[in-house]
């Protein structure tokens, strides 16, 4: 089990320093129970999701309606979990709160036992890029906290993520979170029928580069529907990959903007992805649908 440490690095602000906690692995409590009344995804027992579809599927109006409902619930839960974050609360307490909110909506917390993931939401702090497992660590002043909430509801999935600076964060922390949010929204606004999906990565890549940041290349956006992860694969860095966007496509855009180099490491729990240089990151995510004239955000949140 890795112990937390303290690191000091120079900021972009001449003559000053920033301090933040480098996050490792801390004790994790048992998975939370789900009432028998909740409709369960196929992987809830063995942790193995079904094979993904070989092609990008075009959603019907009914499917998009259900995805919209699931997405609105997911975004609302994300906002409520973010609202209770304060210095001293543990990420396990955030998981407990999020779990109860999900259950009250009659939904299943999608991460729970997905490929063996032991918790109901993901909480990633500072140098943790994504897939952080909620644990006993307390939130500290100045932390960058990403919370990813996803649910299974009425046969489809909802998925979204947001990042906040907790308490008195430094200039770079606020810049990271702003670039993550703004580049995601700019990429969404560039999506419309007839445009290549590569517009997402090209838009985000340019904004990150201009801000002096890098993009994590190992984790990408994905198609979503009655399955949690599927085609298309959505790259968040400059690329020439398609497909051409068509009405009825539904996918996530979820860039991880990195303060330092784009090298990553996976910790011993098999889930927690961290920056190799221990520098920080921020992630923002929406699920969107391509419409006849542009796009629709299916997972509105702050």
Q: What is the pLDDT of residues 233-282, one digit of tens each?
A: 999 999 999 999 999 999 999 999 999 999 999 999 999 999 999 999 99
Q: pLDDT category, 19, cuts 50, 70, 90?
A: confident
The alpha carbon dihedral of 257, 216, 159, 98 has a sign of negative
pLDDT for residue 38 is more than 70 = yes
Q: What residues contact residue 61 under an 8 Å CB cut-off, 6+ apart?
A: none
8-state DSSP, 259: S
DSSP for 112-126, please give it. TTGGG--SSSEEEET
pLDDT for residue 83 is more than 50 = yes
**Mean pLDDT for all residues in the chain:** 94
SS3 (DSSP) at 253:
strand
Written as six digits, the tokens of 120 are: 């109901």
pLDDT for residue 8 is more than 80 = no
pLDDT in tens, 99-157: 999 999 999 999 999 999 999 999 999 999 999 999 999 999 999 999 999 999 999 99
Mean pLDDT over 46-75 rounds to 97
pLDDT in tens, 189-220: 999 999 999 999 999 999 999 999 999 999 99
pLDDT in tens, 176-189: 999 999 999 999 99
> In 3D, which of 134, 154, 128, 164 has the Cα closest to residue 21?
128
Share of the chain above pLDDT 90, in %: 94
Give the global pTM: 0.93
Rounded-to-integer distance, Cα 69 and Cα 76, Å: 11
Rounded-to-integer distance, Cα 24 and Cα 271, Å: 12
Q: Which helix (H) or strand (E) holds 66?
A: helix 61-83
Q: Residue 292 has what pLDDT?
A: 98
Q: pLDDT category, 18, cuts 50, 70, 90?
A: low
Strand order in the sheet with 214-215: 214-215, 256-258, 281-283
Q: Residue 267 has what pLDDT?
A: 98
**Across-strand partners of 245?**
none
Q: pLDDT category, 16, cuts 50, 70, 90?
A: very low
pLDDT in tens, 87-101: 999 999 999 999 999
Q: Residue 174 has what pLDDT?
A: 97
Mean pLDDT over 33-58 rounds to 97
pLDDT for residue 9 is more than 80 = no
CA angle 30, 32, 33 (to 5 degrees): 130
Q: Give residue 167's Cα distance to chain centre.
A: 21
CB atoms within 10 A of CB 255: 32
Written as six digits, the tokens of 288 are: 């969107």
Q: Residue 253 has what pLDDT?
A: 98
pLDDT for residue 3 is more than 60 = no
Q: Where are the alpha helices (DSSP H) in 194-242?
A: 198-211
In angstroms, the Cα distances linking 263 to 213, 215, 216, 217 are 13, 10, 8, 9
> In 3D, which of 212, 240, 234, 213 has the Cα closest to residue 159?
234
pLDDT for residue 10 is more than 80 = no
């Amino acid at each position: 089990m890795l112990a937390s440490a303290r690191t000091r690095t120079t900021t972009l602000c001449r003559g000053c320093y920033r301090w933040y906690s480098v996050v490792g692995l801390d004790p994790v409590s048992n998975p939370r129970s789900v009432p028998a009344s909740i409709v369960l995804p196929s992987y809830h027992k063995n942790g193995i999701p079904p094979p993904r579809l070989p092609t990008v599927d075009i959603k019907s109006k009914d499917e998009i309606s259900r995805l919209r409902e699931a997405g609105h619930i997911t975004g609302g839960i994300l906002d409520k979990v973010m609202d209770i974050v304060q210095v001293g609360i543990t990420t396990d307490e955030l998981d407990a709160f999020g779990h109860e909110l999900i259950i009250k909506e009659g939904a299943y917390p999608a991460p729970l036992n997905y490929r063996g993931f032991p918790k109901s939401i993901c909480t990633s702090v500072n140098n943790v890029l994504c897939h952080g497992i909620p644990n006993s660590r307390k939130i500290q002043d100045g932390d960058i906290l990403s919370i990813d909430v996803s649910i299974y509801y009425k046969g489809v999935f909802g998925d979204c993520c947001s990042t906040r600076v907790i308490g008195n964060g430094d200039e770079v922390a606020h810049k990271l979170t702003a670039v993550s949010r703004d580049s995601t929204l700019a990429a969404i606004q560039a999506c419309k029928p007839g445009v290549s999906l590569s517009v997402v990565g090209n838009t985000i890549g340019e904004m990150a580069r201009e801000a002096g940041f890098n993009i994590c290349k190992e984790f990408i956006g994905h198609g979503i529907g009655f399955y949690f992860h599927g085609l298309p694969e959505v790259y968040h860095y400059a690329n020439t990959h398609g497909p051409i966007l068509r009405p009825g496509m539904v996918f996530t855009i979820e860039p991880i903007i990195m303060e330092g180099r784009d090298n990553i490491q996976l910790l011993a729990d098999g889930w927690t992805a961290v920056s190799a240089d221990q520098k920080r990151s921020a992630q923002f995510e929406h699920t969107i649908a391509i419409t006849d004239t542009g796009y629709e955000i299916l997972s509105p949140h702050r």
